[in-house]
Amino acid sequence: MNHVLVTGGASGIGAATVQALMASGAKVSVIDRSEPTNWWEQGPPEFRGTWVVADATERKVFRDAVTSVTADGVTGLVASAGISLKESFLASTDTAWDDTLMVNVMGSVIAAQESARAMRDHDTGGAIVFVASTVAFGAVAGLGSHYHASKGALVALTHSLASELAPLGIRVNAVAPGLVKTPLTEFMRSNAGEEALTARVPLRVMADPEDVASAIQFLLSTSASMVTGQILPIDAGQLAVVGQPIGGFPDIVTPMAIPDYA
């Protein structure tokens, strides 16, 4: 049976992915900073691997968690643990940069490294999916610069690992969700309203976590056997658009200062 590790599996995209994978008949393990959820406890025992509570800001604890979960082999990794801190660049603190890069980038690196080692040691091959974002390709107002930087790093990591791990039969891809109805975007939805947010994208809808989960499932599956090193947007067409969104940009609250070089 396939065994997939999902980091950040307690909520949002991670939780939807865990449930979709279990429904398709894979054994799933979770690493999350939260305790096991009710739906996990009530899930099908034959598809329930282990749930380890670990926070990716604690590097050693997190690595040990991945090592223990993958000790008997793993054929898939979904690295979906991520945080978003809402500071402006000028006000951003070193702590926020450290935490964001630690969880979003190093957490994905550590999970991928230990999982790929297990795939190599058990001689199984496998598939890795990172959760990048549309912010890796352009500015999305309201999400911090540290979040943009961390997701950009995952795109480069996807390219590099696809090339380096291909000889082991390991594929590496990423999804790039736009706005998804998850706890992470709750503040944007309540501040701006869903209408203003969906006006940014051609399909005029926000993704449900299940939409991202089905794309992750596709990238893990043999239907994507020749797909590696790629970034798959789940963005309702956002990235196909250059320039003004349908409906126009909202009014600028604070006019930009025009520097006087005279």
Partner 1 sequence: MGHVVITGGASGIGESVALRLARSGHRVTILDRLLPEAATWWASLPAENRGLWFSLDVRDSSSVHRAVRDSWGVEPLDGLVTSAGVVTRGALLTETPEEFSEGLEMNITGTLNPIRSVIELWVSEGRPGSVVTMTSTAGLGYVAGLSAGYHAAKSAIVGITRSVAGDYARHGIRINAVAPGVVRTAMSLSQVAHQGEGSLAARAPAGRLAEPDEVSAVAEWLLSPSSRLTTGHVIPVDGGQSAVVGAPPAGYPLPAHDTRGTHAFGFSRSEKAVVS
Lookup: tokens for 188: 């944007």
Residues in the interface with partner 1 (CB under 8 A) total 58
Hunting for tokens 């930087």 — which residue is that? 149
Find all residues with CB under 8 Å of 251, minimum gap 6, and list them.
none
Q: Does the footprint of partner 1 cover residue 204 (CB under 8 A)? A: yes
Select the residue interacting with partner 1 from 23, 61, 139, 196 (CB under 8 A): 23
Whether 147 is a known active-site residue: answer: yes
Please state the closest distance from residue 67 (CB atom) to partner 1, in A: 20
Neighbours of 254 (CB within 10 A): 5
Select the residue interacting with partner 1 from 167, 248, 255, 259 (CB under 8 A): 167
Q: Which of the ranges 60-68, 95-103, 123-131, 184-192 carries the binding residues for partner 1, by CB under 8 A?
A: 123-131
Rule CB under 8 A: which of 215-234 touch partner 1? 215, 217-218, 220-230, 232-234
- The site for partner 1 (CB under 8 A) is made up of 2, 4, 21, 23-26, 75-76, 123-127, 158-159, 162-163, 166-171, 178, 201-205, 207, 211-212, 214-215, 217-218, 220-230, 232-237, 239-241, 246
